[in-house]
Amino acid sequence: MPTHRRTFRGDPQELRTARSWTRAALNGHPHSDDAALIVTELGTNAVVHTASGETAGTFHVTLTVSELMTVIEVADAGGAKTAPEIQQPSGNATHGRGLGIVATLADNVTVHDDDSGCTVTAELRIPAPCYAHPGDRQC
């Protein structure tokens, strides 16, 4: 089960680098685009809402790939006043959709928040192959 880890500077410009690194690390995997979007959203939350976005701040990304699932973890440097939560922003709101997007893409999302910071984990399950006969509606 390969695991890829990287630390990124807490600079908004690094979000593009994190997205590109995720795609490259997953190299054509069926979840590479969804994983790249999830890393971008969670990285943005880290940079905007925590000490990760301060001078010399960082955020950490871990990608773990198995036959059954891709697990994405983004850890920030702490300092947020509240733990991340899915919000229901108004139609004209400019913020508040990131974790909702992640929850829509992922099969499971968990938030672990303690004194050292917050780690958001998103799981993308890989569907089991279908061995039904062609035209069978079970797949």
Q: Is 134 part of any domain?
A: no
Q: Give the number of domains in the chain.
A: 1
Confidence of residue 3 (pLDDT cuts 50, 70, 90): very high
Report the range of poorest mean pLDDT among 21-35, 60-74, 105-119, 121-135.
Answer: 121-135
What are the φ and ψ backbone dihedral angles of 54, each rounded to 5 degrees?
-80, 170
* Of the candidates 42, 37, 36, 9, the residue with the CA atom closest to the CA atom of residue 24: 36
Confidence of residue 93 (pLDDT cuts 50, 70, 90): low
Report yes or no on whether pTM surpasses 0.75: yes
Q: Is 92 part of any domain?
A: yes
Q: What is the CATH number of the domain that holds 16?
A: 3.30.565.10
Pairing of the two strands 117-125 and 69-75: antiparallel
Q: Is 131 part of any domain?
A: no
Is 80 exceeded by the pLDDT of residue 54? yes
* Of the candidates 103, 35, 101, 49, the residue with the CA atom closest to the CA atom of residue 79: 49
What are the φ and ψ backbone dihedral angles of 72, each rounded to 5 degrees?
-115, 125
